[in-house]
């Protein structure tokens, strides 16, 4: 049986973590005072609860309301550097060994910063966090679905590829904003041999996932909860799949699963009805992520606990999905292999040895 103590010690890989969705409440309060910004509460616990209440309403649009507050205090180089450094520290406390942190540069240009300064500030903060904790990281730059600057963001991502940016994404409310509207950005990314992940199949159906893969050329899919609509299910067994779900599984296309977030946004009705165990038990390449640690009041440790509780995952299962994540990361192959064989496998082996010695 997997215990909470075991899960705490498990080395973790995080590939879907939004910088503006994981800010510390205490930091928001301090920065709001410094910049004279009105926020819902100046008490850390009350403010945290205000963010969590958005998650309890099970609507993506309502869930996204909290970002107006976090973004309001993320408009200076100093604030971004601090928040990025703290994000790495918080991930390290969760025993994350590699993380890909994503954000939309254009959402941080309300003040005097341009997009280049935004990215440089975040990278400085992440690098400081790395020096303090030893965590390896990559950055994913997001364009927003309802904006028209996706090509500029794609060009920005490629220009920083030698400095820590590893991929490009589009994010935001899917409804009315299909991936194909940003095809010029994705064509540019593909022409530069760069990496693509796309939020798809979270609040909209299979068409969004199909466009992300076949029109935009996604290498990973964020969420993809709706791909279950392309399957006939009996219990946890898939009796029949359509061409899209076959395509995803045949090509081992990674799907970034975010259990708490999906329930909080209404993408899944409940943890017990989440499609993750169906995907996992039927050999899709899936792994766990937090999405927005602040809004969903979660960590990777909590996400693993949920998977153990609701889907009876074993230590071997948790090792498999962790290695799935590392295999699916956007850093170079030799770096992925190094982390898998020098860090992940030895730490899981040590946990198993200790369990054996106690039985």
CB-based contacts of 242: which residues, under 8 Å, 6+ apart? 230, 231
Q: Active site includes 202? A: yes
Is residue 287 within 8 A of residue 317, CB to CB? The reply is no
Q: Which two tokens stand for residue 168?
A: 């490009």
Can you list the alpha helix ranges (DSSP code H) found in the chain?
4-9, 25-35, 44-55, 60-63, 67-72, 77-93, 115-133, 150-159, 183-191, 206-210, 243-250, 259-265, 276-281, 300-311, 315-327, 333-339, 345-358
Alpha carbon distance 93, 160 (integer Å): 28
User: Rounded to whole angstroms, what are the CA distances from 279 to 60, 87, 317, 327?
Assistant: 22, 29, 13, 17
Residue of 81, 100, 136, 202 with catalytic role: 202
Alpha carbon distance 319, 270 (integer Å): 24
Looking from the CA of 77 toward its CB, the CA atoms found within 13 Å total 11
For residue 240, the SS3 value is strand
Is residue 170 within 8 A of residue 151, CB to CB? The reply is no
Tell me, rounded to whole angstroms, the distance of Cα 205 from its chain centroid: 20
Is residue 169 within 8 A of residue 198, CB to CB? The reply is yes
Cα 171–Cα 122–Cα 104 angle in degrees, nearest 5 = 15
The DSSP code for 137 is: E
Active-site residue list: 202
């Amino acid at each position: 049986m997997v215990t909470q103590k075991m899960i705490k010690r498990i080395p973790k890989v995080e590939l879907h973590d939004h910088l503006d969705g994981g800010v510390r409440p205490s930091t928001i309060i301090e920065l709001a005072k410094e910049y004279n910004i009105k926020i819902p509460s100046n008490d850390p616990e009350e403010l945290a609860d205000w963010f969590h209440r958005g998650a309890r309403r099970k609507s993506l649009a309502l869930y996204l309301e909290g970002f107006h507050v976090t973004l309001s205090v993320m408009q200076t180089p100093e604030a971004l550097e601090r928040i990025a450094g703290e994000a790495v520290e918080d991930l390290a406390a969760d025993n994350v060994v590699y993380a890909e942190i994503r954000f939309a540069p254009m959402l941080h240009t309300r003040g005097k910063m341009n997009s280049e300064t935004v990215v440089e500030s975040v990278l400085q903060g992440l690098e400081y966090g790395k020096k303090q904790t030893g965590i390896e990281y990559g950055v994913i730059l997001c364009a927003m679905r309802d904006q028209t600057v996706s090509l500029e963001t794609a060009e920005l991502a490629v220009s920083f590829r030698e400095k820590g940016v590893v991929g490009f994404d589009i994010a935001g409310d899917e409804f009315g904003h299909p991936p194909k509207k940003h095809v010029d950005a994705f064509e540019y990314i593909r022409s530069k041999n760069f990496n693509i992940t796309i939020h798809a199949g979270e609040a909209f159906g299979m068409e969004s996932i199909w466009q992300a893969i076949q029109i935009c050329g996604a290498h990973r899919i964020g969420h993809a909860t709706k791909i279950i609509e392309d399957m006939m299910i009996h219990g946890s067994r898939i009796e029949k799949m359509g061409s899209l779900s076959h395509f995803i599984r045949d090509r081992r296309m990674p799907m970034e699963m975010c259990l708490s977030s999906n329930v909080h946004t209404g993408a899944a009705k409940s943890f017990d009805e989440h499609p993750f165990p169906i995907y996992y038990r039927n050999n899709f390449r899936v792994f766990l992520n937090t999405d927005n640690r602040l809004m969903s009041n979660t960590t990777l440790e909590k996400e693993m606990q949920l998977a153990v509780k609701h889907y009876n995952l074993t230590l071997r299962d948790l090792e498999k999905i962790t290695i799935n994540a590392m295999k699916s990361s956007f850093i170079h192959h030799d770096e992925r292999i190094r982390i898998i064989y020098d860090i992940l496998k030895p730490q899981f082996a040590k946990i198993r040895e200790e369990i054996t010695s106690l039985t």
